[in-house]
Amino acid sequence: MLEVLAGRRRPVQLVALVAPEVLRYLTAASPSTVRAVAPGRVHVRQPHPDAAEVVAVCRVGDRIRALTLRLDARPAAGSGGASGGATAGPGRATGGPGDRDETVWICTAVRLL
């Protein structure tokens, strides 16, 4: 996300990982004229098993900014629905290797503050 907001990557590179409204936000955002971006501390909160709220403290040029993300677990395309098991956080699903392909984490909201 930071690389897209800094103009290093094109938003289309994230199309499989973000919701359409996030892609529109990233496309509409003016790329930073400052190419120096460095992620710092990351804070993750899971209000329920299928959602994660993330704040990454970042240095953008000479400024300290916060990148906020909302990630939601969704059934993978072609899985026919949820696996029936609980998820174990962003990028992971419980129940063994077979369940891993049945849950994907999609970024449904992003803001650079």
| Confidence (pLDDT) at 5 | 82
Mean pLDDT score, 1-26: 89
Choose among 30, 53, 39: nearest CA to 108.
53
Higher pLDDT, 70 or 100: 70
Phi (first) and psi of residue 52, to 5 degrees: -135, 135
| Confidence (pLDDT) at 7 | 81
CB 112 within 8 A of CB 97: no
| Confidence (pLDDT) at 86 | 44
pTM of the prediction?
Answer: 0.71
For 66-78, how does the pLDDT look when each residue is reduced to its tens digit (9 = 90+)?
Answer: 999 999 999 887 6
| Region of residue 84 (left: phi > 0; alpha: psi -120 to 50; beta: else) | left
80 pLDDT band, cuts 50/70/90, is low
Residue ranges of the domains in the chain?
Answer: 2-112
82 pLDDT band, cuts 50/70/90, is very low
Using CA atoms, how far residue 52 sits from 27, 30, 64, 83, 107, in Å, is 23, 26, 23, 18, 9
Share of the chain above pLDDT 90, in %: 37
